[in-house]
Structure 1
Amino acid sequence: MFFELTDPVTGRAFSDEKIRDELLAFLFAGHDTTATTLAYSLWQLGRNREMQERVAREAAAIGDRLLRASDIGDLPYTVQIVHESLRMCPPAATAARMAMRDVEVDGYRIPAGTNTIVGTYALHHDPSLWDEPEKFDPDRFAPGQSVDRSRWQYLPFGGGPRTCIGDHFAMLEAILGLASVVRKLEVESLHDDFPVKTPFTLVAAGPVPARVGTRAVAA
């Protein structure tokens, strides 16, 4: 695919270096992040049977065919599960930005040109912004619950002109992937802890054991 692309301005084919850079971006930005989100979502559902059954029923109602992007509208609770997983376990735990102008934040002056770090994980767990922030509660993202929420309170993909270019694709992958798995399989988490570390993105710090079995088909 990349070998057939051309620059829309110059009409030139992509160089080997640009193709390499794009592939690296796909690998590091689009693989482990989605995998972490799915792993965390399944771990939480493995601890919350009622939530898991609700996701399973939602997906099963679509039928036995492969799920498609057009099915997202029929998976509202699964969408809430993914949003809450991204709040509690954001793969991009921090975001780096350079101040483009002098600005004051909470009484501190930040000169233009300063490199800054936004602590997304800390923001998502701040008790001044979220009620019971350590509780997994997908209903935070139910219709109407986000109306009064600040745009800058929930930033799993960053925000502004430098927001993640793959955010829509990542959500599509995570939602359809989660629904596809839970529709067919039952998951029981065996540990009450999901250890994390941040070598680059936020990932599981060790094995997350679970018991997985085929989901019984309703009569």
Structure 2
Amino acid sequence: MATTDEIPGPAGLPLLGSMFDLRNDSLGTFLNAQRAHGDVVRIFAGPPGIRATVYAVFSAEGVQQVLATESANFRKDNAFYQELRESFGNGLLTSQDEDYLRQRRLVQPLFTRRRVDGYAEAVATEVARVTEAWRTAEDSTVDVIDEMTGFALRAVARILFGTDVEAAVEIVERAFPVMGDYVLRRGFSPLNIPRDWPTPGNRRALAAHEELYAVCDRIIAERRAAGTAEDGGQDLLSLLSEAESAEDGSFDASELREQVLVFLLAGHETTATSLGFALHLLALHPEQRKRAHEEVDRVLAGRVPGAADLDALPYLTQVLKEAMRLFPAAPAIGRRAVEATEIGGHTIPAGADVIVAPWVTHRHPAYWEDAERFDPERFTPEAEASRPRYAWFPFGGGPRACIGQHFSMLESVIALAMLLQEFEIEAIDTEVPVNAAITLQAAGSARCRVRSRTGGGAPSAGAGPADPA
């Protein structure tokens, strides 16, 4: 077995290692490291004395060790997750140990397939808002990434808050970018000043933090006082408020707020990325777009899709999975090793920061031929069965796999089906640069030209048959 000192990696600059490469293009740095040095790579960054060392694991088998079979040895103890906890609270995304297990047990019943399928109508309502806006778009041009970011935020806010959606969306749109940039900057800096020092950056982040917490606390207090959603329905906030068990008790007000913030953060940026890039990729590829249109027209025949239609739209699901392969919303996932662990013939030392990177593994030549090519056929059942389980992991994996996987796919398939039903889309921007923030971010525009296929109005959100309970 190779020793730690023998793990290969880029030399970088003599004093600073790969610091500038990681800062300027972390995803390209990881991809180049795999191509040059293999599936377990050591990367140095920063000057001596405050130098960081990251161990990156790129093989499907190695990813499975980190996220699944040896997940207890790879914890969310790194600086990035600590900054995330400080800003967004100790919800499902950031909690660990008994805190995490208790939260997961309380929340899990709210994310069963049956329960999630009940959110299809709320999703369709928000897609209908998008189709109406696109019909009147200036020059028939829209930026599909921006549009899907707005749609996904409104959809998850509607599902969380019901009719309180407007108040939440305005503040989240303003506060999240400020807090996200702050977390990212501090999470990957070798030295940070205390959060309570009155610097301009700290003050901006604190103001955004307080505004976001205040709106969540207000809606939660009003909902608990009223006992249910304003429309008498069961939005997710009402269900979270009522979640209780003899073993785990229930969420207090601060815990409830932390779960809400995590769902807002994780529930809109990830879906927006997958859906926005799926639209852009279809806009670039007429043959695949034609096949998607044909499936939607054949299955739906002009009606609004519901949860019961997901299994009848397999090609749309393949399109979304291929978009998530090429543009994974979580392009790199960090952990910290508790004990020394052998991966791929190398020893990852105790206490090491470890990265697994969907961005790289999803392009690994051992699993993906001509990996940069858009090809939804990679996700037929037969093709999926032929690959290792962790050759594709946009939702993470193991005991910490994303609890919202089914919701994300439900929302994305319904939205994609409704938009393709209504519009023909053609790409104006042929390439969309990206960078890694808390989630994958478009660093340029993704403009498409949209043209109505129907010449009339879109079906209303209530036009389709009711989903089975």
Q: Same fold (TM over 0.5)?
A: yes
* Amino acid in the other structure paired with 1:148: S
Contact 1:78 1:179 in 2 (8 A): yes
Question: Aligned equivalents of 2:240 and 2:422: distance in 1?
Answer: 37
Question: Aligned equivalents of 2:389 and 2:270: distance in 1?
Answer: 22
Contact 1:2 1:19 in 2 (8 A): no
2:426 to 150, 172, 188: 188
Aligned ranges 1:96-175 → 2 under 5 Å = 96-99=334-337, 101-175=339-413
Of all paired residues, the percent bearing the same amino acid is: 37
User: What is residue 49 of structure 1 aligned with on the other side?
Assistant: 286
Question: Aligned equivalents of 2:326 and 2:349: distance in 1?
Answer: 32
Contact 2:241 2:256 in 1 (8 A): no
1:92 aligns with 2:330: yes
1:101 CA drift (Å): 4.7
1:18 to 248, 252, 255: 255
Contact 2:426 2:448 in 1 (8 A): yes
1:60 to 292, 297, 309: 297
1:52 CA drift (Å): 1.3
Contact 1:98 1:115 in 2 (8 A): yes
Partner SS, residue 187 of structure 1: strand
Question: Aligned equivalents of 1:67 and 1:161: distance in 2?
Answer: 32
1:11 CA drift (Å): 7.1
* Amino acid in the other structure paired with 1:55: A
1:179 aligns with 2:179: no
| Change beyond 3 A, Cα 1:4–1:28 | closer
* Amino acid in the other structure paired with 2:286: R
Question: Aligned equivalents of 2:248 and 2:361: distance in 1?
Answer: 43
* Amino acid in the other structure paired with 2:272: A
| Change beyond 3 A, Cα 1:129–1:17 | same
Question: Aligned equivalents of 2:246 and 2:332: distance in 1?
Answer: 33
Question: Aligned equivalents of 1:85 and 1:26: distance in 2?
Answer: 22
Question: Aligned equivalents of 2:407 and 2:315: distance in 1?
Answer: 18
User: What is residue 208 of structure 1 aligned with on the other side?
Assistant: 446
Partner SS, residue 117 of structure 1: strand
Per mean C-alpha deviation after superposition, the further-off stretch among 106-115 and 189-198 is 106-115
1:22 CA drift (Å): 1.1
**Matched pairs, number:** 217
Partner SS, residue 383 of structure 2: coil
Partner SS, residue 96 of structure 1: strand
1:136 CA drift (Å): 0.4
More helix by share: 2
User: What is residue 32 of structure 1 aligned with on the other side?
Assistant: 269
Per mean C-alpha deviation after superposition, the further-off stretch among 4-13 and 119-128 is 4-13
* Amino acid in the other structure paired with 1:211: R
Root mean square deviation of aligned Cα: 1.9
Per mean C-alpha deviation after superposition, the further-off stretch among 36-45 and 190-199 is 190-199
Contact 1:197 1:203 in 2 (8 A): yes
Question: Aligned equivalents of 1:157 and 1:3: distance in 2?
Answer: 22
| Change beyond 3 A, Cα 1:33–1:149 | same
User: TM-score of the superposition, structure 2-length normalised?
Assistant: 0.44
1:160 CA drift (Å): 1.0
1:43 CA drift (Å): 0.5
Question: Aligned equivalents of 1:206 and 1:2: distance in 2?
Answer: 38
Contact 1:89 1:121 in 2 (8 A): yes
Question: Aligned equivalents of 1:193 and 1:13: distance in 2?
Answer: 47
* Amino acid in the other structure paired with 1:132: D
1:3 CA drift (Å): 6.3
Greater Rg by CA: 2
Contact 1:55 1:183 in 2 (8 A): no
Residue segments in structure 1 that go unaligned for 5+ positions in a row: none
Per mean C-alpha deviation after superposition, the further-off stretch among 19-28 and 59-68 is 59-68
1:13 CA drift (Å): 4.3
Contact 2:429 2:445 in 1 (8 A): no
* Amino acid in the other structure paired with 2:259: E
